[in-house]
Amino acid sequence: MTDDGSKVEQRVEQGIAHMEHLKNQIDALTLQKDSLASLLLDHDRTIQVLEAMNGSCSESFLLPMGGQVFVSARIDRMDVCLVDQGAGVLLEKRVPEAIGQVRNRQERIKGAVSGMENTIQQMISQYQEVTSATQRLYDQQMRAGPGPEKTF
């Protein structure tokens, strides 16, 4: 193969490696985005339960435990709850304040999801550009023929 043909082949291989790298990054970001979407649903359920139980006492509720399992529970005092502040620190908050904090978390998560979606779209565009450029190089290499060392 000529020196130019060798350079083209090397560039094709680099393009393919770049495509694989981008695809792996896109897949990883998509998984992270899906995890955050699941977290948003969990926050929605938390808000629904807190709103339903706010101020209620001695009423029986179905309490979601996760995994589509619910238990019947009776709440004696439902004006405050414990809210995770991070690093395992729990603070007692009034229910409306707890709901507000969960909603704030939701907004931050939505922002992160939106940022990931933008990044994923940019990476998909970059992937398409690299794919097109690599395909052009490959086509150029094929038009040039096999080269003298590949003939029989």
Interval 61-87: pLDDT, tens: 777 788 889 888 877 777 888 899 889
Burial degree of 119 (CB within 10 A; 0-12, 13-18, 19+): middle
Instruction: Give the pLDDT score at 57.
Output: 64
Instruction: Give the pLDDT score at 62.
Output: 77
Question: Is 150's pLDDT higher than 90?
Answer: no
**What predicted TM-score, i.e. pTM, was given to this entire model?**
0.71
Residue that has been written with the tokens 């040039």 in this structure = 144
Interval 44-56: pLDDT, tens: 988 988 887 776 6
Question: Is 58's pLDDT higher than 70?
Answer: no
Interval 107-143: pLDDT, tens: 999 999 999 999 999 999 999 999 999 999 888 888 8
Instruction: Look up the CATH number of domain 3-52+95-150.
Output: 1.10.287
Domain ranges of the chain: 3-52+95-150
Question: Is 36's pLDDT higher than 70?
Answer: yes
SS3 82: strand
SS3 89: strand
